[in-house]
Amino acid sequence: MKIRLLLGLAATLAVGVAGAGCRSTDPLDVHVSLPGVSPFAPGAFQSIIITAFRDEAPLPNFETGPAFEEALEVGLKSGTKGQVERVVRARVPAVAGSDEPPVWRALGAAEQPGTIYLAGSVRMSGDIRKALDRNVITEGPFDLVGRLLAKRRWRLTVELYVISAATGETLHHETWREDQDYSELDKAAEFAFSELSARVLDQLKEVLFASPTIEVRTLLRR
């Protein structure tokens, strides 16, 4: 009798262990620091000059161009050992890109070797967006219009050129588009700009300095 009982317990444990071994568990998200990839070799430039960015859609109560130039100056000074300078807006030509290399070459004639210009344009825009509240859709189709959720969406678009002061040629050109929804319909442009420009700056640092990025990887466990 005892032998049968022990055999039964052993068989039950074996089935339980086998079942546990075959049962899958939920995926696990882990944050991994990955080395950045830059089109520039280490030490490719020694000085960064921030020029006046053209504002493609001026707002009545917020100057996006000067605000972005200031954000660049503060952010890049903390990310490089080289010199970062923000030039007076009147000194900078109202052009950016590979179509005007002589202008940039003439402007950079007096600059030290390894100097680059950051130039381009910015656009800040916002609107009110409405959508159905998912929590009330299941209650029926009555008065759905009165239950629309309204949110303020702010967008920031930055077109940026990295230009060689020595040759006037464009070394890199990229456009970033960031947006964010806010439940506060009166969310100020300054607040949204601070959040959106920080995202753009992180991506620019990755381009210029190959800054490491934090990415999410999903581990499948069994």
pLDDT 10s digits, 49-77 = 999 899 999 999 999 999 999 999 999 98
Per DSSP, the three-state class of 6 is: helix
Residue 87 maps to a domain: yes
Residue 14 maps to a domain: no
List the beta strands (DSSP E) in 73-143.
83-86, 115-132
Residues 163-178 have pLDDT tens digits of 999 999 999 999 999 9
Taking Cα atoms as reference points, which of 18, 47, 41 lies closest to residue 172? Answer: 41
Range(s) of the domain holding residue 77: 27-219
pTM: 0.69
Q: How many domains does the chain have?
A: 1
Residue 13 maps to a domain: no
Residue 9 maps to a domain: no
Taking Cα atoms as reference points, which of 84, 80, 76, 86 lies closest to residue 42? Answer: 80
Would you say 192 and 173 are in contact if contact means Cβ atoms under 8 Å apart?
no
Structure tokens at 202: 């992180």
Residues 1-54 have pLDDT tens digits of 444 444 444 454 444 445 444 555 777 767 665 655 667 777 778 889 999 899
CA atoms within 13 A on the CB side of 24: 6
Residue 190 maps to a domain: yes
Amino acid at residue number 142: F
Gap between the Cα atoms of 18 and 193, Å rounded:
56
Gap between the Cα atoms of 133 and 117, Å rounded:
47
Residue 120 has pLDDT above 50, yes or no: yes
Residue 95 maps to a domain: yes
Residue 20 maps to a domain: no
- What CATH number has the domain bearing residue 172? 3.30.160
Token look-up 């280490």 returns 42
Residue 123 maps to a domain: yes
**CB neighbours of residue 189 within 10 Å:** 21
Is residue 211 very low, low, confident or very high in pLDDT (cuts 50, 70, 90)? low
